[in-house]
């Protein structure tokens, strides 16, 4: 197998994405993309890959668990809609993450070909076949990039790792305070044990993913224009 391309190749991205920062070391970036869904796209299969236990490789894991392990992605969402760019429906994907856009796509490869194809394999032009690699699929995803007009993040100066550490220290401190309140004997031993606990590595805060599996079987809204531009008429209907 030939050498895999990395961030130095830039993934062919034409747009750097918006950067959210308050001047501190950490920055948050975003990626938004769109791809034409195949006429026979199986959205039921699509959603099954993202629900808890639906991850293909490793079997039985979930999108939220595996994404947490990357330690990069802050939020991600998928939805479908009609656009003037494509016939039929379009898949949209929006994500915010710590680090650079190139590093994001490098890490995205770690999701694995099978998992990526379960989602983007439902789109026109997505490479497939036994010789296709996860890098090939991620390259296809990168080519679907569109520009974002505006974005918001609650704390761009704080990285995911810092959030985990702060949560870890808070819980350990709370446990220590309650132990002291309940029994102040052997105070020095308790303090030493507390500092030992603080020095231990933090555990990732459990993440969550919500998938509306029913939506895959339901009619997607096609009357939004009428409801927005002619509210009286749409309400009457």
Cis amide bond preceding 58, omega within 30: yes
Mean pLDDT of the chain: 87
For the stretch 33-78, pLDDT in tens is 999 999 999 988 888 888 888 888 888 887 888 888 888 899 999 9
Q: Do 83 and 140 share a domain, yes or no?
A: yes
Is 99 among the domain residues? yes
How many other C-beta atoms can be found within 10 angstroms of the C-beta atom of residue 30? 21
Residue 8: the pLDDT is 47
Q: Domain check: are 167 and 129 in the same one?
A: no
Q: Domain check: are 90 and 174 in the same one?
A: no
Question: What pLDDT is recorded for position 234?
Answer: 56
Specify whether the CB–CB gap between 100 and 29 falls below 8 A. yes
Is residue 236 scored above 70 in pLDDT?
A: no
Q: Report residue 8 CA to chain centroid gap.
A: 23
Between 223 and 75, whose confidence is greater? 75
Residue 34 has a pLDDT of 96
- 139 and 69 inside one domain: yes
Residue 91 sits in the same domain as residue 166: no
Give the C-alpha separation, 100 to 28, whole Å.
8
Which tokens is 53 given? Answer: 């236990």
Residue 23 sits in the same domain as residue 82: yes
Question: pLDDT tens digits for 18-36?
Answer: 999 888 789 999 999 999 9
**Same domain, yes or no, for 164 and 185?**
yes
Q: What total number of domains does the chain contain?
A: 2
Q: Are 82 and 130 in a shared domain? A: yes
Least confident among 16-20, 189-193, 227-231: 227-231
Q: Where is pLDDT greater, at 207 or 116?
A: 116
Q: What share of the chain is helix, strand, coil (3-state, %, to 5)?
A: 45, 15, 40
On the question of pLDDT at 1 being above 50, the answer is no
Looking at residue 181, what is its pLDDT? 92
What domain range is 70 assigned to? Answer: 7-155+207-236
Judged on CB neighbours under 10 Å (0-12, 13-18, 19+), 61 is: middle
């Amino acid at each position: 197998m030939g050498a895999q391309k990395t961030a130095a190749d830039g993934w062919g991205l034409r747009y750097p994405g918006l950067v959210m920062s308050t001047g501190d070391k950490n920055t948050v970036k975003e990626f938004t993309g769109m791809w034409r869904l195949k006429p026979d796209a199986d959205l039921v299969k699509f959603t099954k890959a993202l629900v808890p236990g639906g991850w293909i490789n490793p079997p039985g894991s979930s999108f939220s668990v595996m994404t947490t392990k990357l330690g990069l992605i802050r939020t991600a969402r998928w939805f479908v809609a009609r656009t003037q760019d494509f016939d039929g429906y379009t898949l949209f994907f929006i994500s915010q993450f710590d680090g650079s856009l190139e590093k994001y796509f490098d890490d995205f490869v770690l999701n694995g070909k099978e998992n990526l194809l379960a989602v983007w394999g439902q789109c026109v032009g997505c490479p497939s076949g036994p010789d296709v690699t996860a890098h090939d699929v991620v390259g296809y995803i990168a080519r679907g990039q569109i520009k974002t007009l505006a974005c918001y993040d609650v704390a761009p100066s704080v990285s995911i790792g810092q959030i985990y550490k702060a949560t870890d220290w808070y819980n350990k401190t709370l446990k220590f305070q309650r132990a002291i309140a309940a029994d102040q004997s052997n105070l020095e031993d308790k303090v030493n044990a507390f500092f030992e606990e603080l020095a231990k590595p933090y555990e990732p805060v459990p993440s969550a993913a919500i998938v509306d599996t029913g939506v895959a079987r339901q009619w997607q809204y096609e009357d939004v224009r009428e409801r927005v531009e002619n509210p009286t008429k749409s309400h009457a209907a």
